[in-house]
Structure 1
């Protein structure tokens, strides 16, 4: 089993040909900065602090390479109106979390807080998770220790590195979110 849900290269290319695809590439000479292209849109993005990898592991800070379906999105309703999107969309709540404990049966899944095993809180004081798009990374099948909580979300000021996610500026996120829907993928690498 491969923890990053990648198919062979021919299938990955076919997926992008069948439906619009967000493409993410590292900038030459940079491990943590990249470009995201989608149709005519071409915007800067932040990548994981360890750059791109084909062998993602929990906590390594790397962004996994591959082609991943865009599954659903969450947003902070207390900070913005409901964004336009064709993806399934839900407002975040203070009790939303994501399990990152590789020894727990809910590893790499949405959880409700309080939650004793190790987890990430999705309701953050910074603005990084004002919008989150869940990528189909290490979900079916879930490989314990293969990496968790790999999202497409809002970037830090100055596009500081992520912990393994892909992140863009808030205005770019709004524009992209309005144009994406089920069946679409993000191709990283």
Structure 2
């Protein structure tokens, strides 16, 4: 009998530890959104983007850092512009939604302008730099350079990055649909400058000053994550 009780207690303890657990965090940490997220992995920097509902084209963006076991606020909230058709957990190429979920930040940042002081590696965009959105191309959802002025080996509905000098003054690539890349699931999901102050085609955008603040703050050693969702669903990610 004692063995049975001891074994049951051990199972319960292991189950609680394995859940890792936003519940435990929520009971000991400040009552904020970041401490209620289901799983932030090894990240010690976090961006949250919360929209009011699925069809909303804006969201509240905040920055967080890990302090011990707890998340504490760093900056924000700022208004981020999202896809023209809102956010979606089942994004498809061309549907004009911003993908919902938890994602990393790719290790190379880009921009038409000079590096504003990022800690990430930086590629300055030039003529011939594309982000491929042709679902039939082997380069789908990847950066690809062709000689300036030559026809690329994919549909030119892809992003000619040098032709967006305002939006792509600076950008971070959200690590969506990359491991593995699934044709048709969506491509070129960036955190970039808001050119018009309106909805995007699927990215998230901020004012230039806000974006520069974010990109300078992000540290690849902190394994940052960006979590995007509605007020009703974001805690599930």
User: What is the TM-score of this pair, normalised by structure 2?
Assistant: 0.69
> Does 2:113 align with 1:73?
no
Structure-1 separation of matches of 2:126 and 2:191: 18
Deviates more, 1:120-129 or 1:148-157: 120-129
The answer to which structure has the higher helix fraction is 2
Give, in angstroms, the shift of residue 30 of structure 1: 6.2
CA deviations 1:65-109 (Å, max 9, x no partner) are 0111111211123xxx42111122111111110111111111101
CA displacement at 1:14 relative to structure 2: 3.0
- Alpha-carbon shift at residue 181 of structure 1 (Å): 2.0
Q: Tell me the alpha carbon deviations over residues 147-173 of structure 1, each in whole angstroms, 9 at most, x when there is no partner.
A: 01111100123x211010000000001
Structure number with the bigger relative contact order (C-alpha 8 A, sep ≥ 6) is 1
Superposition deviation, residue 41 in structure 1 = 2.2
Is the counterpart of residue 14 in structure 1 residue 49 in structure 2? no
Tell me which structure has the larger Cα radius of gyration.
2
In the alignment, which residue of structure 1 is the partner of 2:153?
A: 116
Report the counterpart of residue 107 of structure 1 in structure 2. Answer: 140
- The whole-number CA distance in structure 1 between the counterparts of 2:49 and 2:101 is 10
Contact 1:108 / 1:148 at 8 angstroms: preserved in 2? yes
Aligned mates of 1:125, 1:138 — CA distance in 2: 23
Count, aligned residues: 176
- Single out whichever of 95-104 and 82-91 deviates more from structure 2: 82-91
Quote the Cα distance in structure 1 between the aligned partners of 2:49 and 2:41: 12
Distance across 1 between alignment mates of 2:41 and 2:85: 26
Listed as ranges, the matches of 1:126-137 within 5 Å are 126-137=165-176
Query: Who is 2:121 aligned against?
Result: 88
Q: Which residue of 1 aligns with 2:188?
A: 149
Unpaired runs of at least 5, structure 1: 1-9
TM-score, with normalisation over the residues of structure 1?
A: 0.86
Does structure 1 retain, via aligned residues, the 8 Å contact 2:56–2:87?
yes
Considering only aligned residues, what root-mean-square deviation do their CA atoms show, in Å? 2.0
Counterpart-to-counterpart distance in 1, 2:45 and 2:55 = 26
